[in-house]
Amino acid sequence: MSKFSLKGKTAIVTGGGSGIGKAIAKTFAAQGARVHILDFNKKGADTTVKEIVQAKNKAVAHLCDVSNQKKVNEIIQEITDNDAIDILVNNAGIAHVGNLEKTEEADLDRLYEVNIKGVYNCSKACIGPFKKNGGGVILNLASVASSAGLSDRFAYSMTKGAVLTMTYSVAKDYVKDNIRCNCISPGRVHTPFVDGFLAKNYPGKEAEMFEKLAHTQPIGRMGKPEEIANLALYLCSDEAGFITGTDYPIDGGFLKLNG
């Protein structure tokens, strides 16, 4: 664990109960971090923790709606009473399919609350402890939708564009406090969300549509959650100490090779 070791560090991962967040939590724990998972789905968070503990690593689950600032502050305070936080991964997020006409006000509000306000709440709660401890790392999960026009992703793209620009702002404002802030922009990644989306919208044609979606990436497949987690590990490790204010696409060539 000499390279990319997180031994002795404490990491918070939001949305760590499934998908990319789960992979990040397990990867960080395997590299020695004590991981705190904040998730609205306590059952999923508990399952992730169980798997981490079975591997003889350390993790704790917290029931948390990241859009609720009071609850976020309480949990971060609870964690900092016992641990010095080193890393925050803002992974929790929700999706919506629809163009402007098919996006209702309630849809917009729902995505704003989690995808934007959730990042704000958790980041703000951790800035004070980071400054007190002499530094820290914030990693945000943005998306290729942050910088590319995607069909029928009006609300989702809006929120992920905000995540990208929040990343730049935090990196700029806190660089002198030894706080690094970067973001990752995944393309399409094979998670339980994808399987649920296909089952709901294309019953009986799941395999066909899966292949179609997979090949929107020039590399010819969807990403794996573990691949996103490996990039997250690097960006949150001491080896990435010279990196801040940067967006990292991990998209099978989607942004640069399509067209």
Q: What is the DSSP string of the chain?
A: --TT--TT-EEEEETTTSHHHHHHHHHHHHTT-EEEEEES-HHHHHHHHHHHHHTT-EEEEEE--TT-HHHHHHHHHHHHTT----EEEE-------B-GGG--HHHHHHHIIIIIHHHHHHHHHHHHHHHHHT-EEEEEE--GGGTS--TTBHHHHHHHHHHHHHHHHHHHHHGGGTEEEEEEEE--B--HHHHHHHHHHSTT-HHHHHHHHHTTSTTSS-B-HHHHHHHHHHHHSGGGTT--S-EEEESTTHHHH--
Q: 102 pLDDT band (50/70/90 cuts)? A: very high
Question: When comparing pLDDT for 200 and 243, which is higher?
Answer: 243
With a pLDDT cut of 90, the percent of the chain lying above it is 92
Chain segment 63-96, per-residue pLDDT in tens: 999 999 999 999 999 999 999 999 999 999 999 9
Residue 258 has pLDDT above 90, yes or no: no
172 and 205 fall within a common domain: no
Tell me the catalytic residues.
156
Asked if residue 1 belongs to a domain, the reply is no
Segments forming the whole domain that contains residue 28: 10-187+225-247
The pTM assigned to this predicted structure is: 0.95
105 and 128 fall within a common domain: yes
Chain segment 113-130, per-residue pLDDT in tens: 999 999 999 999 999 999
Chain segment 175-186, per-residue pLDDT in tens: 999 999 999 999
44 and 171 fall within a common domain: yes
Asked if residue 255 belongs to a domain, the reply is no
31 and 47 fall within a common domain: yes
Number of domains in the chain: 2
Averaged pLDDT of the chain: 96
138 and 195 fall within a common domain: no
